Amino acid sequence: MTKKKIYSLDKNYSADIFFKRPDKYKEIEIVSSKFDNIITMGSCNSYTPASFRKNALSIQLTKFNRIIEFDKNQKLITVEAGIILSDLFNFTLARGLWVPQIPGYPTITIGGAVASNSHGKSCGFHGTIKKQIKRIKIFHKLHGWLNLSNEENRDIFDLTIGGLGLTGSIVEVQLRLEELSGNNFVTKIIETDSSNDAVKKINFDVKKETYCYSWNRSDSFKNFGKGFVFQNELNVSSDNKLTKNIKLNNSDINKNFIINFWNKYSVFFAQSIYQNYFKFFKSKQHEESFQKAIFPFIGKEFYFKLFGKKGFLESQIIVPFDKTEVFIDEVETIFKKHEPLITLYSLKNFKGDQKNLRFENDGICFTFDFVKNSKNLFFMNELDKICEKYHLTPSIIKDSRLKLETIEKCYKDFNRFKEEINKFDNKRIYKSTLTDKLMI
């Protein structure tokens, strides 16, 4: 069995693990039978250590990447869970169909997206991927092969979506596809002068199918929240089939430079250039390719690399609409006091019901990326307190630093989820470093 040292994308966790990438169904059963601690791995693109654990077996399912069934009339597709988003979309988009709730990087697998209950740029309109999942097939070392759906093993189906791989290996997923009404986007750029202004402009019409997010400055208190809202709408005048394949960049997102390039000056410099480019050089309404709008990180992997060996931290928090003003107020207060080094600040709309460990709720999703230093860690702890105080929803899959205490306070179902997992997997075979932290 291969041993390997592996890192989370944010570089805050690493572990020596046993690693296997089976390519036959029988092999999944055989390798699972040999270990008492297992976790399934997709592309290991998670910021957090969600798909590995010290001395446990990570079964990587990327060789299970085929299409099993496709019904164009019923708009249903069954795929193996290791298929990466670009491969799936290169097939479906050519037929005018897709899944809108997909995360913003093309090498992420469908299994990873299901296990983290992913959302896309239009989560205010489409919600999370849960809505598209009709059926799942898992392999569990104790229970064998199980079909999960609303009709069969409903409870386990519910635990598996957003269940961080704790119910076993997801091997097949049947997805409902949505029609695409164009093959590119018309992007409107709207200037914002504060965080509250960005919230207002992002939340302009949730009934419309827009792919909306903001980019806000975070380099100083004076500039905090200034920036743009990007409203991407499908260009209905274009053909509804994508003719160009999504191309992967050869750059490995998990590799980084040795030193950190982000500091007060480089953040100020980068954000000023970015803002002025969009203000003065980019037309306020322009066409954008599907790839650029949906997978904005393709070609920008260097952003992660610039954090160097020490890595970074991300905090993503859903704030209900009626609490956004007070949240922004509190954040601005602690920002002024602690002057954290935030490299990225962005907002998007969100829709959903919070259940189990799923990252969803109705509200605005705030994202902050931090350089890893003690000042920022202190600031993030203050953010946790705000989350606990207002019962906000912080993302577990994005923030590797998030404490159990905060999760318990913010996820009302946390203890019930833990109990149900313990009941289903009474030997607690499927575990990761992340779920160890959550004591599940």
Residue 103's binding partner among other proteins, ligand FAD, none (Cβ under 5 to 8 angstroms by kind) is ligand FAD
Check residue 25 for interaction with other proteins (CB under 8 A).
yes
Nearer to ligand FAD, 264 or 300 (CB): 300
Nearer to ligand FAD, 164 or 198 (CB): 164
The pattern of x and - marking residues 63 through 102 that bind other proteins according to CB under 8 A reads: x--xxxxx---------x----------x-----------
Q: How far is the CB of 91 from other proteins (least distance, A)?
A: 7
Stretch that binds other proteins, among 24-32, 159-167, 321-329, 400-408 (CB under 8 A): 24-32
Nearer to other proteins, 4 or 300 (CB): 4
Residue 111's binding partner among other proteins, ligand FAD, none (Cβ under 5 to 8 angstroms by kind) is ligand FAD
Residue 46's binding partner among ligand FAD, other proteins, none (Cβ under 5 to 8 angstroms by kind) is ligand FAD
Q: How far is the CB of 171 from other proteins (least distance, A)?
A: 10
Nearer to other proteins, 110 or 199 (CB): 110
The pattern of x and - marking residues 44 through 63 that bind other proteins according to CB under 8 A reads: -------------------x
Task: Return the residue of 5, 24, 338, 416 that touches other proteins, per CB under 8 A.
Answer: 24
Residue 229's binding partner among other proteins, ligand FAD, none (Cβ under 5 to 8 angstroms by kind) is none
Q: Which residues bind ligand FAD (CB under 6 A)?
A: 9, 39-46, 50-51, 61, 81, 103-105, 108-109, 111-113, 115-116, 118-119, 164-165, 169-170, 297, 397, 432
In whole angstroms, what separates CA 249 from the centre of its chain?
Answer: 19
Nearer to ligand FAD, 56 or 334 (CB): 56
Residue 105's binding partner among ligand FAD, other proteins, none (Cβ under 5 to 8 angstroms by kind) is ligand FAD
Can you give the binding site for other proteins, defined by CB under 8 A?
A: 2, 4, 19-26, 63, 66-70, 80, 91
